[in-house]
Amino acid sequence: MINTIRLGISTCPNDTFTFHALLNRLVDWRGLEFDVELLDIQQLNTLLFSGDFDVAKASFHAALLLTDSTVVLSSGSALGFGVGPLLLSAEPDAVLRDSDQLTLCPGEHTTAALLFRLFHARTTRIQHVVFSAIMPMLQHRQADFGVCIHEGRFTWQDEGLGLVEDLGTRWEQETKCPLPLGGIVASRSLPDETTAKVLAVIHDSLQFALADRNAALPTMRKYAQEFDDDVLMKHVDLYVNDWTLDLGDSGRAALHELSDRAISIGLVDNAAKRLEIFR
């Protein structure tokens, strides 16, 4: 029996909210020990490809490429309507035209980057940077466009940037599905009994946070790029929902749609395993 779980989660508020009780051992760890690392989502994606974690938050873009070695847990995901990344511009009313322009994306294997490729293939050059650098680089005119995630979704207007498109809204209009951004994946090498315990602890941790939302604020503040409590809670309101507790049928349908579209642009081989959900 594996007792110590190498767990990786992101520093974004929806994860620190969900995992607050686990991080502070406020719920039963069910005989497990957790060695937790909090990182930027692209760092988590990269380390998952290296096999550094037993369980970790992953962009669903990365999870699509890891189906041979991981399963998706039914709790802990970020899906929803009105939750998509924003395609912003350094100049108001800018239009994507050609490869002379530069678009910043928050990591090669983020779902935000996948959406940009799905909807704006072969329009501009792409550079991958840490998500927190995108808006400052746009403000300093170091790029033409940027795909913005996390707290910046709520603050971009204050930064004097332009909105080109809400990529999540476009996904919703074309698919009629909630947008699947990221989820918790577990290594297939873990015994099913261990994976089930991990899933139960995550579910308990989220229920603990939902029962007393403000109790998670100190943990959220510790890791957030944005320290305004109202913005942090807006983030939770947007990304923590019924699909976070359990993916359900509509969550599964959304992952199936994402798999199909990834195949359509050649990101995933047609013979590859689809995302498998452990419950």
Tell me the DSSP string of 29-59. -TT-EEEEEEE-HHHHHHHHHTT--SEEEEE
Residue 139 · residue 95 · CB < 8 Å: no
Q: Give the pair of three-digit tokens for residue 8.
A: 């990786």
Q: Which DSSP symbol is given to 2?
A: -
Task: Measure Cα distances from 187 to 66, 70, 95, 259 in Å.
Answer: 9, 4, 42, 19
Beta pairing class for 277-278 and 86-89? unpaired
DSSP-based three-state secondary structure for 71: strand
Task: Report the C-alpha gap between 106 and 46 in whole angstroms.
Answer: 13
Task: Measure Cα distances from 77 to 141, 156, 222, 235 in Å.
Answer: 34, 25, 21, 14
109 has catalytic annotation = no
Task: Report the C-alpha gap between 6 and 139 in whole angstroms.
Answer: 38
Task: Report the C-alpha gap between 244 and 79 in whole angstroms.
Answer: 7
The single residue of 109, 120, 150, 235 carrying the catalytic annotation is: 150
Residues 6+ apart with CB under 8 A from 29: 22, 201
Strand partners for 4: 33
Q: How many CA atoms lie within 13 A of 265 on its CB side?
A: 16
Indicate left, alpha or beta for 176 from its phi (over 0: left) and psi (-120 to 50: alpha): left
| Residues assigned a catalytic role | 150
